[in-house]
């Protein structure tokens, strides 16, 4: 048996011994008394009785050995700013931010909603929450006010932290007006909003009595030391909202001790990152990858982490490689979409920089097609590792685990189940394990390993019902992805089993986009589907029925209406959910019981066979879809 297989089997068969060893990678204020409490399946409590703190593990414990080492390098090609913080300096900034929280009465168990661009203060804010035991909920800056308000009402934060504006491609993107609007819409607005005023939005005006200036508070807390609040291992560290089949996003709740251990172990076994080295993850702090591998993972491992605000092709397509060369990056983590964007650029940019420090490039978040995988591996002359995971798990489910064994990389596959995951490919019909090369649902036999979501925020029942009831006969966690395992044990992900689409690695529920489309006053009904896109993997397109057909009576009017619908989505959900096209029809394909036939619509949009249509209510609806796609249908 190979070394990795052995390692994996041990993690399942001798689960407690295995994780007890991994737990030694982090500091415990009080040792745990039980490795895994699985007395109430499918809920798992890892490292029960143990007390620890994520901020302590990310910063304080490194001060003695690497206080003067760089901890955080902030690079913005949007503002031209670059700033470096050593562990000691990061410690100071986080203590100041934690002091502000404490002064405002924010402590253990309180929620803090962070809605910020990629600036160092966002990292300080996250770590400060962890320090005082507050639960952060970072919302991606691309979400609009209605989405933000829904998250505010679910998390009921005691405080929000934001900035006047972000920047993208040289253009200012005001954040504060969206926050103001969200707070107007929310039923549970927080008392205060701390605003980092970057001086980008000249229109920015604080609201007296509610908005507080970060810089002023920082000065007032300049010399403060805020002691760490020790948390029981299962105490929540953060909530991160993610989309599913319903229009209502779920708050993925993460624990403290299990997460610390999972990240520390992954930095060693999967990412092969060593203390003193540098990691560059190109995600955003609003996504799970940003939480785990911009902020917590590298810092817990004593590595320097890079926070990059900017685009991959600005000022030119060499910028990431320049960052790698300038900072001697050894571990890099990015997305398949980014790789596809770079593939279209002049190859000279890759050849221009000395990338000898780089050991591996990791890609995740969406399917990595084989040609792109091959291209980037050849262009970099480095191992490129496709790995598969979800917001729910917080760290990889499928990956090559090169820190344990240098298994060969096969293009187009994220390799093997990661240690700790008892992963099975199950037949949809009877929940039996699929044979090699047979398609099934990618499932995980509980307990989920440390670091994975512990519940849906405020809704244990929803956690169980959403994730553990796909099969009548077995309580297993469904990833909602189809997959196959080949005869050599390599796994392939074949797409979602549900109505979730993945745009450039960002998960969006079709229901959520449909609700945003319907916020337009002239839309009666809509179906949104994801269609294959050569760069972004998938793009949403919409088929809508209007209330007043006069609004789309001519091609010009229809185009204006389409634009109006797109604007409504931007406003309601955020530009990340904007459909690339809105086609107008008078009828949507549905079953006789009224269920939208999204799969058939999607198949037509991708030029495939629409499949079994015996249950369709009115076949004319599909004809309209076909004609709308061909551009010759106008209701
Ligand atoms: P998110 O939680 O937004 O990161 O989305 C997770 C989903 O993205 C998974 O359930 C998959 O559908 C998809 N995904 C993530 N990584 C990969 C990968 N390496 N290959 C294929 N699909 C992936």
Strands 384-386 and 360-363: parallel
Q: Total domain count for the chain?
A: 2
Q: Hey, how many other C-beta atoms are within 10 angstroms of the C-beta on 66?
A: 18
Using the 3D structure, point to which of 183, 208, 229 is the last residue of a domain.
229
Residue 496 Cα to ligand 1 midpoint, Å, equals 9
Q: Whose CA is nearest to atom 11 of ligand 1?
A: 366
Q: Whose CA is nearest to atom 7 of ligand 1?
A: 390
Q: Whose CA is nearest to atom 10 of ligand 1?
A: 390
Tokens of 41: 């399946």
Q: How far apart are the first and last CA of the chain?
A: 64
Tokens of 107: 């402590």
The helix or strand, by DSSP H or E, that contains position 585, with its residue range, turns out to be: strand 581-585
Residue 599 Cα to ligand 1 midpoint, Å, equals 19
| Domain assignment present for 543 | yes
Residue 505 Cα to ligand 1 midpoint, Å, equals 7
Q: Whose CA is nearest to atom 19 of ligand 1?
A: 388
pLDDT value of position 88 = 98
Cα–Cα distances in angstroms (integers) from residue 157 to residues 143, 240, 474, in the given order: 17, 13, 37
Number of the ligand 1 atom closest to the C-alpha atom of 480: 10
For residues 310 and 336, the answer to whether their CB atoms sit within 8 Å is no
| Domain assignment present for 194 | yes
d(CA 589, CA 596): 6
Give, for ligand 1, the residue of 336, 389, 532 to mutate: max count of ligand atoms closer than 8 Å to Cβ. Answer: 389
d(CA 135, CA 126): 9
Indicate which CATH number applies to the domain containing 146: 3.40.50.980
d(CA 94, CA 128): 5
d(CA 128, CA 196): 15
d(CA 47, CA 284): 29
Number of the ligand 1 atom closest to the C-alpha atom of 502: 8
Number of the ligand 1 atom closest to the C-alpha atom of 391: 2
| Domain assignment present for 422 | no
* pLDDT, tens digit (0-9, with 9 covering 90-100), for 171-222: 999 999 999 999 999 999 999 999 999 999 999 999 999 999 999 999 999 9
For 162, residues 6+ apart whose C-beta sits below 8 A from its C-beta are: 114, 115, 116, 175, 176, 179, 193, 194, 195, 196
| Domain assignment present for 150 | yes
The helix or strand, by DSSP H or E, that contains position 320, with its residue range, turns out to be: helix 319-327
Residue 219 Cα to ligand 1 midpoint, Å, equals 42
**Residues of the chain predicted below pLDDT 50:** none
d(CA 193, CA 269): 40
Residue 391 Cα to ligand 1 midpoint, Å, equals 8
pLDDT value of position 42 = 98
d(CA 123, CA 71): 11
Q: Whose CA is nearest to atom 23 of ligand 1?
A: 366
Indicate which CATH number applies to the domain containing 526: 3.30.300.30
Give, for ligand 1, the residue of 254, 361, 388 to mutate: max count of ligand atoms closer than 8 Å to Cβ. Answer: 388
Residue 172 Cα to ligand 1 midpoint, Å, equals 30
Using the 3D structure, point to which of 229, 256, 284 is the last residue of a domain.
229
Torsion (CA) 152, 156, 157, 162 in degrees, nearest 10: 10
Residue 366 Cα to ligand 1 midpoint, Å, equals 4
| Domain assignment present for 601 | yes
| Domain assignment present for 365 | no
Q: Whose CA is nearest to atom 14 of ligand 1?
A: 366
In this structure, the residues whose C-beta lies within 6 A of any atom of ligand 1 are: 242, 288, 364-368, 386-391, 414, 479, 481, 493, 496, 502, 507
d(CA 319, CA 352): 11
CA atoms within 13 A on the CB side of 98: 27
| Domain assignment present for 532 | yes
Using the 3D structure, point to which of 229, 261, 293 is the last residue of a domain.
229
Number of the ligand 1 atom closest to the C-alpha atom of 507: 3
Helix (H, G, I), strand (E, B) or coil at 420: coil
Burial class (CB in 10 A: 0-12, 13-18, 19+), 326: middle
Q: Hey, how many other C-beta atoms are within 10 angstroms of the C-beta on 65?
A: 11
Query: To 5 degrees, how large is the angle CA 444–CA 446–CA 447?
Result: 130
For 356, residues 6+ apart whose C-beta sits below 8 A from its C-beta are: none
Residue 226 Cα to ligand 1 midpoint, Å, equals 38
| Domain assignment present for 571 | yes
Tokens of 523: 């839309």
For 615, residues 6+ apart whose C-beta sits below 8 A from its C-beta are: 591, 592, 593, 597
Give, for ligand 1, the residue of 254, 364, 394 to mutate: max count of ligand atoms closer than 8 Å to Cβ. Answer: 364
Give, for ligand 1, the residue of 293, 367, 456 to mutate: max count of ligand atoms closer than 8 Å to Cβ. Answer: 367
For residues 492 and 413, the answer to whether their CB atoms sit within 8 Å is yes
* Residue whose C-alpha is closest to residue 475's, from 463, 483, 484, 491: 463
Phi, psi of 577 (to 5 degrees): -100, 5
Number of the ligand 1 atom closest to the C-alpha atom of 288: 4
Q: Whose CA is nearest to atom 18 of ligand 1?
A: 388
Q: By residue range, what is the domain housing residue 504?
A: 500-629
CA atoms within 13 A on the CB side of 214: 24
For residues 396 and 388, the answer to whether their CB atoms sit within 8 Å is yes
């Amino acid at each position: 048996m190979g070394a990795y297989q052995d390692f994996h089997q041990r993690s399942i068969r001798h689960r407690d011994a295995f994780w007890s060893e991994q737990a030694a990678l982090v500091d415990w204020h009080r040792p745990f008394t039980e490795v895994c409490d699985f007395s109430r399946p499918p809920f798992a409590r890892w490292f029960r009785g143990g007390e620890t703190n994520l901020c302590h593990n990310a910063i304080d414990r490194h001060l003695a050995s690497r206080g003067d080492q760089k901890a955080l390098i902030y690079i913005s090609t949007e503002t031209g700013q670059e700033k470096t913080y050593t562990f000691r300096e990061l410690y100071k900034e986080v203590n100041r931010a934690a002091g502000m929280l404490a002064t405002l009465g924010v402590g253990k168990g309180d929620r803090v909603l962070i809605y910020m661009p990629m600036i160092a203060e966002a990292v300080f804010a996250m770590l400060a929450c962890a320090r005082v035991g507050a639960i952060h909920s970072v919302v991606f800056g691309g979400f609009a006010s209605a989405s933000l308000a829904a998250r505010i009402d679910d998390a009921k934060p005691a405080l929000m932290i934001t900035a006047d504006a972000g920047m993208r491609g040289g253009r200012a993107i005001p954040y504060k007006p969206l926050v103001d609007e969200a707070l107007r819409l929310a039923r549970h607005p927080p008392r205060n909003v701390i605003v980092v005023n970057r001086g980008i939005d000249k229109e920015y005006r604080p609201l007296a009595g509610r908005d507080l200036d970060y810089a002023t508070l920082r000065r007032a807390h300049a010399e403060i030391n805020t002691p760490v609040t020790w948390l029981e291992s299962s105490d929540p560290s953060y909530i991160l909202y993610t989309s599913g089949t319903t229009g209502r996003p779920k708050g993925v709740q993460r624990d403290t001790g299990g997460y610390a251990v999972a990240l520390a172990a992954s930095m060693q076994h999967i990412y092969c990152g060593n203390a003193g080295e540098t990691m560059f993850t190109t995600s955003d702090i609003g996504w799970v990858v940003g939480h785990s591998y911009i902020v917590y993972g590298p810092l817990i491992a004593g590595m320097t982490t890079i926070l990059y605000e900017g685009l991959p092709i600005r000022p030119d397509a060499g910028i990431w490689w320049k960052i790698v060369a300038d900072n001697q990056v050894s571990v890099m983590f990015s997305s398949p979409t980014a790789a596809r964007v770079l593939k279209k650029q002049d190859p000279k940019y890759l050849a221009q920089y000395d990338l000898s420090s780089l050991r591996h490039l990791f890609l995740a978040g969406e399917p990595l097609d084989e040609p792109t995988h091959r291209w980037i591996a050849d262009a970099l002359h480095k191992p490129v590792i496709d790995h598969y995971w979800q917001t729910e798990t917080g760290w990889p489910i499928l990956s090559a685990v090169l820190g344990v064994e240098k298994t060969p990389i096969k293009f187009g596959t994220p390799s093997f189940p990661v240690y700790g995951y008892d992963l099975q490919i199950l037949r949809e019909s009877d929940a039996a394990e699929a044979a090699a090369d047979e398609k099934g649902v990618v499932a995980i036999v509980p307990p989920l390993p440390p670091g994975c979501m512990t519940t849906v925020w405020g809704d244990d029942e929803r956690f169980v019902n959403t994730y553990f009831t796909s099969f009548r006969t077995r309580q297993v966690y469904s990833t909602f992805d189809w997959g196959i395992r080949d005869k050599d044990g390599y796994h392939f992900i074949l797409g979602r089993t549900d109505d979730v689409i993945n745009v450039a690695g960002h998960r969006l529920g079709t229901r959520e986009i449909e609700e945003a489309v319907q916020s337009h006053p002239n839309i009666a009904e809509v179906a949104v589907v994801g269609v294959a896109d050569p760069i972004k993997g998938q793009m949403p397109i919409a088929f809508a029925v209007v209330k007043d057909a006069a609004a789309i009576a001519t091609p010009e009017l229809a185009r204006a209406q389409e634009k109006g619908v797109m604007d409504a989505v931007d406003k309601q959900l955020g530009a990340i959910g904007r459909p690339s096209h809105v086609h107008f029809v008078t009828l949507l394909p549905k079953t006789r019981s009224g269920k939208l036939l999204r799969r058939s619509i999607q198949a037509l949009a991708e030029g495939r066979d629409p499949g079994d249509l015996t249950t369709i209510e009115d076949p004319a609806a599909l004809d309209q879809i076909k004609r709308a796609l061909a551009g010759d249908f106008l209701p």
